[in-house]
Structure 1
Amino acid sequence: MKLKLTGLTLAAAMVMASAIAAQAQTALKWAHVYETSEPFHTESVWAAEEIGKRTEGRYKIDVFPASQLGKEADINQGLKLGTVDIIISGSSFAARDYKPIGVTYFPYIFRDSAHLLAYAKSDVFKRLAQGYEDATGNHIAAVTYYGTRQTTSNKEIKACADMQGLKIRVPDVPAYLAMPRACGANTTPIAFAEVYLALQNGTVEAQENPLTTIEAKKFYEVQKNIALTGHIVDHLNTLVSKQLWTSLSDADKQIFSEVMLEAAARATAIVTEREAALVEKFRADGIGVNEVDKADFEKNVNEKVAPEDFGYVKEDLEAIRALQ
């Protein structure tokens, strides 16, 4: 009888401990707009699992890809509303709350991905990220290289003048307008999830995105020309909501930060490797991949638009361009 009672007591204790553990677990939502095949998703899933492990199961993070919780503007709004806890999103959207941080989208500000990654570790970035955090309470935990943006179209583009009158889709963010408008194109904002159909039905004749995105979203199926304009060296931020960030202990903040930085580095490595191979892959598949007169594009941008036109600070642009 004693053994039976001891066994029942032990079982009850285990059930109680399990219930307490379940109550202590915090469920979080991590959202983005990218496909499940892209590293922005696969490494987010890795990070979610890794945070769970390093916090001994105190956090359970579910990742929602491909605009499942809304378009990019929606998930940014979700950080404020508390409907999402973590997102991956560009600084162009962060600039809606703190304009200066969008300066990184001014065309030809970065030489290459190495320059971008140097910026992500710089005092300029720390100052701009702090400005965004002061304005929103949201915390930028990591920066991932998204890719260098190129232009796809229904016609061959080799110089800035070739874009005159071209109907091109750009994100609904001011910075993306600079290069197309400097070249005389007609810009149309269309949500990311709707771009393929817009290209297919002729609503627009062109769009711009990194090669990895052109592949993942299959834009090459409805656009047979890729111009290597390289006008924006793009990145994504891993953003933690004010509500979540302020609720974390210092120890948990360190865990979240370390894991998110590791995930960003992993995704960056994958993007860099894939991007390097895609030019030849596209050419082998019969897609026209054209080198352009990049100096001509940059000259037109510098002559016809200014960072101040978009609410950016010229000194920030110059400080970033000077980074080595």
Structure 2
Amino acid sequence: MTRLRSGFSAASVFSAAVFGAAALAAVLASGAASAQTKLKWAHVYEPAEPFHTASVWAAGEIAKRTNGRYQIDVYPSSQLGKESDINQGLTLGTVDMIISGSSFAGKAYPPIGVTYYPYTFRDANHLLAYAKSDVFKDLAKGYNEKTGNHIVAVTYYGVRQATSNKLFKTCAEMKGLKIRVPDAPAYLAMPKACGANITPIAFAEVYLALQNGTVDAQENPLTTIEAKKFFEVQKNIILTGHIVDHLNTIISAKLWNQLSPEDRVIFTEVALEAAARATKEVAAREKELLDVFKQKGLNVVEVDTAEYRDTVMKNITFESFGYRKADWDRIQAIKSDGM
């Protein structure tokens, strides 16, 4: 056996080298296994709202199901920007996942915004049936092809109602009313058709705008009116019910393309479960809130929604927003069951 000057045999040196290589490989493998990808999930809603609590649950569940390979931090309350900002962030790389309405997705791919044309959905059940339909799949595919971003789940957001310090009951009585709407075309349809003065204001700034009289009115689901405390600075809730609203859980093109097929399944399944959780909570709370607001002294006003709908249909065309009437007709044909 050949011995080196140090007194070690060639065989022992070879064995040590093999062992060292194996040990290094084990360390590298361990490091790869424990490598963690940090992600940002953003939205504009309050920490106490189901949209946030379900997102936090989903972040933890994804970490659990991927053995800790993903750490997702959820940023509520417009911390990473207003809704238009976080939608742009999917492309810019400042966020990886968001919850946001199809009205904002419609800025990139207008046809998907047709769901925000007033009185498109009959109720929450109709909306949820749409989320499982071929119409939704076709529109989501068009959005994906346009942006690369991937919609993985739909959450019921609630029926949008108007609140105002100036009482109105008919569409015509909204003429000249200063009303805040989100900065997306779809929300303009009903107020515009009724002759209101439309003022887009960032979601985080609405309370102050109502408080100081910059605007007289706003529109949102009852659960949002509660969460954002708009009831503190508004006298009347007018049940226009003009949009049955929803939020999409969207994964950026960059992240989706990096996910393995197995991880795509995990992210999608968890997002769907989170959406179902939030939907259930929102629907339950929505049923309770009219009585809650009445007890707080607000004036709850019933209106003839058919008059509002007919005025919108007469004055606002689908094409003016980039929508396709054929998509709307397909949605109308969807049958729905109970939630």
Match of 2:10 in 1: none
Match of 1:310 in 2: 321
C-alpha contact (below 8 Å) 2:159/2:243 kept by paired residues: yes
Match of 2:142 in 1: 131
Query: Which of 210, 213, 222 is 2:221 aligned to?
Result: 210
Render the CA deviation track for 1:22-54: whole Å, top value 9, x for unaligned.
Answer: 861111110101000100000000000000000
Look up the SS of the partner of 1:237 in the other structure. Answer: strand
Query: Which of 102, 106, 117 is 2:128 aligned to?
Result: 117
Does residue 276 of the first structure (1) align with residue 283 of the second (2)?
no
Match of 2:237 in 1: 226
Aligned partner letter, 1:121: K
Render the CA deviation track for 1:228-278: whole Å, top value 9, x for unaligned.
Answer: 100000000000000000111111000000000000000000000000000
Does residue 263 of the first structure (1) align with residue 282 of the second (2)?
no
Does residue 31 of the first structure (1) align with residue 58 of the second (2)?
no
Query: Which of 194, 202, 208 is 1:197 aligned to?
Result: 208
C-alpha contact (below 8 Å) 1:152/1:224 kept by paired residues: yes
How many Å apart are 1:156 and its aligned residue? 2.0
Query: Which of 165, 168, 192 is 1:154 aligned to?
Result: 165
Is the deviation greater in 150-159 or in 218-227?
150-159
Aligned partner letter, 1:268: T
Q: Unmatched 5+ residue regions in structure 1?
A: 1-8
Does residue 166 of the first structure (1) align with residue 177 of the second (2)?
yes
C-alpha contact (below 8 Å) 2:34/2:69 kept by paired residues: no
Render the CA deviation track for 1:66-93: whole Å, top value 9, x for unaligned.
Answer: 0111111111111101111000011111
- In 2, the alpha carbon distance for the partners of 1:104 and 1:276 equals 22
Render the CA deviation track for 1:100-140: whole Å, top value 9, x for unaligned.
Answer: 00000000000000000000000000000000000010000
Match of 1:175 in 2: 186
How many Å apart are 1:282 and its aligned residue? 0.3
Does residue 249 of the first structure (1) align with residue 260 of the second (2)?
yes
How many Å apart are 1:16 and its aligned residue? 4.9
Match of 1:285 in 2: 296
- In 1, the alpha carbon distance for the partners of 2:73 and 2:187 equals 31
How many Å apart are 1:157 and its aligned residue? 2.2
Give 1:74-153 correspondences, 5 Å limit: 74-153=85-164
How many Å apart are 1:18 and its aligned residue? 10
- In 1, the alpha carbon distance for the partners of 2:147 and 2:305 equals 37
How many Å apart are 1:150 and its aligned residue? 0.2
- In 2, the alpha carbon distance for the partners of 1:34 and 1:122 equals 27
Match of 2:11 in 1: none
What is the TM-score normalised by the length of structure 1? 0.94
Aligned partner letter, 1:26: T
How many Å apart are 1:158 and its aligned residue? 1.6
C-alpha contact (below 8 Å) 2:150/2:252 kept by paired residues: yes
How many Å apart are 1:155 and its aligned residue? 2.0
- In 1, the alpha carbon distance for the partners of 2:95 and 2:316 equals 36
Q: For the aligned residues, what is the CA RMSD?
A: 1.6
How many Å apart are 1:181 and its aligned residue? 1.1
C-alpha contact (below 8 Å) 2:193/2:312 kept by paired residues: yes
Match of 2:16 in 1: none
Look up the SS of the partner of 1:141 in the other structure. Answer: strand
- In 1, the alpha carbon distance for the partners of 2:75 and 2:31 equals 27
Look up the SS of the partner of 2:219 in the other structure. Answer: strand
C-alpha contact (below 8 Å) 1:172/1:190 kept by paired residues: yes
How many Å apart are 1:308 and its aligned residue? 1.1
C-alpha contact (below 8 Å) 1:157/1:292 kept by paired residues: no
Aligned partner letter, 1:238: T
Is the deviation greater in 241-250 or in 158-167?
158-167
Look up the SS of the partner of 2:189 in the other structure. Answer: helix
What is the total number of aligned residue pairs between the two structures? 313
How many Å apart are 1:17 and its aligned residue? 7.7
